[in-house]
Structure 1
Amino acid sequence: MSKKSTGLLASTILAGTILAGGIGSAALATPANAAPDHRTETYTMTGDAGGSKFEGIGTDPRRGTFYVSEVTGGEIHHGASGTSAMREWLGGNGTDGRYTARGITVDRAGNIYIAGGPNGIGNDRPDLWVYNARGELQAALKAPGTDVFLNDVVIGADGAAYFTNSNDAQIFRVAKSGGKYTAVLWADATGTIERRDGFNLGGIELSADRSAFVVAQGNSGKLWRFDIKTRKATAIDTRGIDLVNADGLLLRGNTLSVVQNFSKKLTTLRLSADGSSIRLLGQRATDPDRVLTTVARLRGQTLFVDSKFDEQVASGPYEVITNPLAR
């Protein structure tokens, strides 16, 4: 279900121990070189009167800001490192054709890419959107196909955005060419990866050597390597590690953190530079009162989205947290 950020991981679980990093502060209009502020550990979002559920997160390290997507209406919320109160940044409920939003990421220029989940299935609504840092719509696109559930998104080595499909083993590429954005089917692994009930391809990260994408298949607990040159998918040997409900991914160097939403686990793996092999470093229970969907990194903090997916009608507080572990 979604993620995303550039930057480094602040909290690494090694041999059952979590090492928490500090954070940098910035009000929504504070310069990027603001002094460190270690006080903000929880970021609070406003929700709809009928309840809100959240999923993706994307960070803009240069501006010290981040964005969180809302499933229930498609609103996008905006926060800043060190400032606890967030605000609604983009409307939903039909704004630019958006009624739900999932994965989200930010490129080096500050453009924000939003995955629409099932927003465009069975209708003429967009599957994804691109906005600039001022909140101006750059593109609202349909992805090729008729049953596309865009889940997560990451920026590739070429600067394009790559979206996973949770209904089929496909990755779509979105890039600007000739003055406009286009969406194309970049990799189709439907002949290699079995489509199962539930969420198929979800979290996605670029390998350390930038030769491949590592993608989670949450319903099977598998990890897949998509080679960037050949666009072929191969299974990564998970060595019997329980990765069912793998959702958001975050890579720091060769350390891959995996958020397992309804399993309520955070698993840390050693990932080879080319993304072809893993080794277990640690696995811990997350807060039993939260269903965390994804993880991102911003200014010395690791940020986790509390989705409220376990509540039939969600109620506040609606939060992005920095300590995911069971208390």
Structure 2
Amino acid sequence: MTVALTLGLIVPLGGAAQAGTHSPYPDRFPLPDGFQPEGIAIGPGAVAYLGSRVDGRVYRVDLRTGKGRVFSEGPGTPSLGMKTAGGLLYVAGGAGGDARVIDTRTGKVLKRYALAAGPSFVNDVVLTRKAAWVTDSTNPVLYRLPLGTRGEAAALPLKGEIVYGTGVNANGIERTPDGRSLLIVQSNTGRLFTVDPRTGDTRAVDLGGESLVNGDGLLLKGDTLYVVQNRLNVVAVLKISRDGSRARVVERVGDPRFDVPTTMAAFKGRFYLPNARFTTPPTPETPYDVVAIDR
């Protein structure tokens, strides 16, 4: 499939020239060699969590120093998108077909949800007031997890305008500004959709002819939606309507330190993005890092 793509204006954000600084809150810090990061979650406080696509280890880092350690050993399958709330870390399990809830104090897995019995790619997570919602890039379904560690997961089949095809389908997930619907980006087609969390009905967001191809992590701040376009090494910045029905790209932000960033999380005046380096053949010695850019 050929996808038309308009990159528009690419604007490097301020602060990139200070890469590798040793001042408090460094704007670049390393991860373990061979780690292969994908997801990132921050908080509460100046603490970030990153998951490994290789074996599911979770690395916890102090953003004030850039130093960290593996605090939760993985199950041997990936840890991808993640979010924190209430002392818990919700983690999407990729090809493992599961989601896990980890205690952020101890690193212990408190709950594991087996979400898919066959081929799957459980990809990203968003938290709402009532649930954790998880995408599957292989199967047209969202998974609803209860907040906390009680209760069971439920599958919500997607219907309506989204059509799954070859490649990575539903990837990043967020809420609409009014909180009534969910947003998902379809990486292979570059389309953005709203999802009714009660029915699974999807509707394409009017992007005014723009494409979000290779769209990965989503982050909503007010009426601004940030979309990481991983292999393009840019973050698309969109103004979006309250109900999510319309959005327009106002700029695309690049940085010379980007090396296929996947997702992003915010802390104070910065966004933090792990470099997944999908275009670099991975080895146990391959270096990986996280870069911070100004909002």
**Do both proteins adopt the same fold according to a TM-score greater than 0.5, normalized to the shorter chain?**
yes
Match of 1:189 in 2: 158
Regions of 4+ moved over 4 Å: 14-21
Residue 130 in structure 1 maps to residue 101 in structure 2:
yes
2:150 aligned to 180, 189, 203, which one? 180
Amino acid across the alignment from 2:142:
I
Match of 2:73 in 1: 91
Match of 1:42 in 2: 28
Match of 1:115 in 2: 92
State the distance in 2 between where 1:44 and 1:144 align: 33
Residue 146 in structure 1 maps to residue 118 in structure 2:
yes
State the distance in 2 between where 1:57 and 1:71 align: 12
Match of 2:80 in 1: 102
Residue 59 in structure 1 maps to residue 42 in structure 2:
yes
Residue 261 in structure 1 maps to residue 222 in structure 2:
no
State the distance in 2 between where 1:262 and 1:19 align: 18
* Greater RCO structure (CA 8 Å; 6+ sep): 1
Deviation at 1:86, TM superposition (A): 2.0
Q: Secondary structure at the match of 1:269?
A: strand
Question: Which ranges of structure 2 fall in alignment gaps of 5 or more residues?
Answer: 1-7, 16-22
State the distance in 1 between where 2:108 and 2:72 align: 10
Match of 2:270 in 1: 301
State the distance in 1 between where 2:100 and 2:211 align: 34
For these two proteins, the number of residue pairs brought into alignment is 279
State the distance in 2 between where 1:277 and 1:289 align: 28
Q: Deviations over 1:260-295 (max 9, x none)?
A: 111222211001112111012102344376111111
Q: Secondary structure at the match of 1:281?
A: strand
Residue 276 in structure 1 maps to residue 245 in structure 2:
yes
Match of 1:206 in 2: 175
Q: Secondary structure at the match of 2:208?
A: coil
State the distance in 2 between where 1:321 and 1:218 align: 22
Deviation at 1:16, TM superposition (A): 5.6
State the distance in 1 between where 2:233 and 2:11 align: 17
Q: Please give the residue correspondences for 1:224-235 in structure 2 after superposition, counting only pairs within 5 Å.
A: 224-235=193-204
Match of 2:188 in 1: 219
Deviation at 1:213, TM superposition (A): 0.8
Deviation at 1:244, TM superposition (A): 0.6
Cα distance change on mapping 1:91 and 1:39 into 2, 3 Å: closer
Question: Which ranges of structure 1 fall in alignment gaps of 5 or more residues?
Answer: 1-13, 22-36, 121-126
Amino acid across the alignment from 2:259:
R
- The question of whether the paired residues in 1 share the 8 Å contact of 2:13 and 2:253 is answered with no
Match of 1:170 in 2: 141
Deviation at 1:99, TM superposition (A): 2.0
Q: Deviations over 1:46-74 (max 9, x none)?
A: 12xxx2311000111x3321110111121
TM-score (norm 2): 0.86
- The question of whether the paired residues in 1 share the 8 Å contact of 2:12 and 2:253 is answered with no
Give me the identity figure in percent: 29
- The question of whether the paired residues in 2 share the 8 Å contact of 1:46 and 1:86 is answered with no
State the distance in 2 between where 1:76 and 1:100 align: 10
- The question of whether the paired residues in 2 share the 8 Å contact of 1:43 and 1:86 is answered with no
Amino acid across the alignment from 2:192:
L
